[in-house]
């Protein structure tokens, strides 16, 4: 499953306001709630699940990327959001580098296999330095979505 298939333009935040780890997660979840992508009744449940996951080990996977994720018994499909921080956020990432790209997703608990496939697809995409570079230079949501929709080439740059 491609990340872009999970995102609408309004689920891309090219200029996150939060500057710290937990507030950045809260900002993304709040945006999902405001968009109606996440029922207001699930807001706290999802935040608690994300917090429990982050307390186990940071979801900062390195190379400026974090993939906070959680499960919910009350969802019937994957919900995702992408955020970009130009200045970077300390996520206690594996490589101690600041995080510039946050891909947060919530998966129905009954679809554990989807969780693994989604996580693997996102991690694979973001190991590509060309994709990260293009995302860092993108001027708006449309450009970000286009990059996330494209297929990486052997040169490390995204192609359509």
Please give the pLDDT value at position 152: 55
pTM for the predicted model, two decimal places: 0.91
Give the residue among 82, 74, 80 at the shortest CA–CA distance from 108: 74
For 107, the token pair is 């998966």
Please give the pLDDT value at position 2: 78
The sign of the torsion formed by the CA atoms of 138, 151, 88, 22 equals: positive
Contact call for residues 115 and 79 (beta carbons, < 8 A): no
Task: Give the domains, in start order, of the chain with CATH numbers.
Answer: 3-159 (3.40.930.10)
Please give the pLDDT value at position 106: 94
HSE of 115 in the Cβ direction (CA atoms, 13 Å)? 14
Please give the pLDDT value at position 156: 47
Please give the pLDDT value at position 158: 52
Contact call for residues 14 and 141 (beta carbons, < 8 A): yes
Please give the pLDDT value at position 154: 43
What averages of pLDDT result for each successive group of 10 residues across the chain (160 residues)? 88 98 98 94 93 94 96 92 97 95 95 85 93 98 95 49
Please give the pLDDT value at position 114: 81
How, if at all, do strands 151-152 and 158-159 pair?
antiparallel
Contact call for residues 102 and 66 (beta carbons, < 8 A): yes
Residue with tokens 């689920």: 11
Please give the pLDDT value at position 151: 66
The sign of the torsion formed by the CA atoms of 17, 18, 19, 21 equals: negative
Contact call for residues 129 and 98 (beta carbons, < 8 A): no
Please give the pLDDT value at position 3: 85
**Bridge partner list, 99:** 89
């Amino acid at each position: 499953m491609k990340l872009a298939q999970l995102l609408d333009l309004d689920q891309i935040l090219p200029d996150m306001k939060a500057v710290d780890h937990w507030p950045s997660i809260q900002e993304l979840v709040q945006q999902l709630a405001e968009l109606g992508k996440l029922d207001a009744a699930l807001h706290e449940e999802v935040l608690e699940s994300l917090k429990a996951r982050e307390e186990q080990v940071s979801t900062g996977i390195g190379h400026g990327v974090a993939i906070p994720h959680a499960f919910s018994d009350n969802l019937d499909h994957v919900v995702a959001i992408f955020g970009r921080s130009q200045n970077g956020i300390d996520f206690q990432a594996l490589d101690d580098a600041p995080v510039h790209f946050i891909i947060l997703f919530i998966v129905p608990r009954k679809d554990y296999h989807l969780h693994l496939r989604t996580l693997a697809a996102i991690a694979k995409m973001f190991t590509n330095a060309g994709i990260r570079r293009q995302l860092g230079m993108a001027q708006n949501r449309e450009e970000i979505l286009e990059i996330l929709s494209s297929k990486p080439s052997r040169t490390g740059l995204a192609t359509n």
